[in-house]
Amino acid sequence: MAINLKAKETLIQVGELKGKYRFVLSTELYSKLPESKVIKEAALRSGVSRGVMQACWDAAGEVIKAWSTEGHSVAIPGLGTMRFGVRAKSVATVGEVAGSLITARRVIFTPNVDIKDELQRTPIQITCIDRNGKVVKNVTSGDSGDVEDPDKDPNGGGTNPGGTGNGDNPGGGSQSGNTEGGNTQGGNTEGGKTDTGDTGSEGGGDDVSL
């Protein structure tokens, strides 16, 4: 298995590179597996009935939602932890503190060691496509395999309210984090505009994540 990316030669529409063609990285869109298929496969692997697995799945979801809204970081067995947070502007004085400082609510998922190791080991394949839609090169990534930590990386979490980077819109934000399809390679940097995500400024205040 591999993570599939595409580098599409795209005409930049904004910024200093406007009017120039650049190869912009973005993720290939994966199909969304329905819950029923996941339940069926989990039931087969565990040896329990689909009805029991569905009941356990639903119960776990309700517990995660309930405890997350109480401010807990909740363990998702076999995957990591999930918590709710916000992205908000900072202000200089206490008199300026108000609910309007919140710019976005966030779901923050932190993968466990096994998930991080699996991602680190997974190869990345890049298909290069020119402006005419022709495949001109295939690349297997030799990157270091570093995995970002949303609790440590100020740009982590993969939730950027600034937009969606999909390769065809290089001026957008991030679809799969800030590296693959968004700000670093396929998004605002290539488009001549840099979006600093959590640590940027908005409306006169510093935008920070919590």
CATH 4.10.520.10: does it fit domain 3-209?
yes
Q: Is 204 left (phi over 0), alpha (psi -120 to 50) or beta?
A: left
pLDDT at 14 > cutoff 70: yes
Q: Which two tokens stand for residue 154?
A: 């100020």
pLDDT at 159 > cutoff 80: no
Q: How confident is the model at residue 205 (pLDDT cuts 50, 70, 90)?
A: low
Residue with tokens 């935008």: 207
Q: How confident is the model at residue 31 (pLDDT cuts 50, 70, 90)?
A: confident
CB atoms < 10 A from the CB of 95, how many?
Answer: 7
Averaged pLDDT for residues 109-116: 92
Q: How confident is the model at residue 117 (pLDDT cuts 50, 70, 90)?
A: very high
- Residue-level pLDDT at 181: 36
Q: What is the pTM of this model?
A: 0.59
Q: How confident is the model at residue 145 (pLDDT cuts 50, 70, 90)?
A: confident
Alpha-carbon distances, residue 97 vs 169, 196, 197 (angstroms): 35, 23, 21
Choose from 117-121, 170-174, 176-180 the range with maximum mean pLDDT.
117-121
Averaged pLDDT for residues 1-5: 85
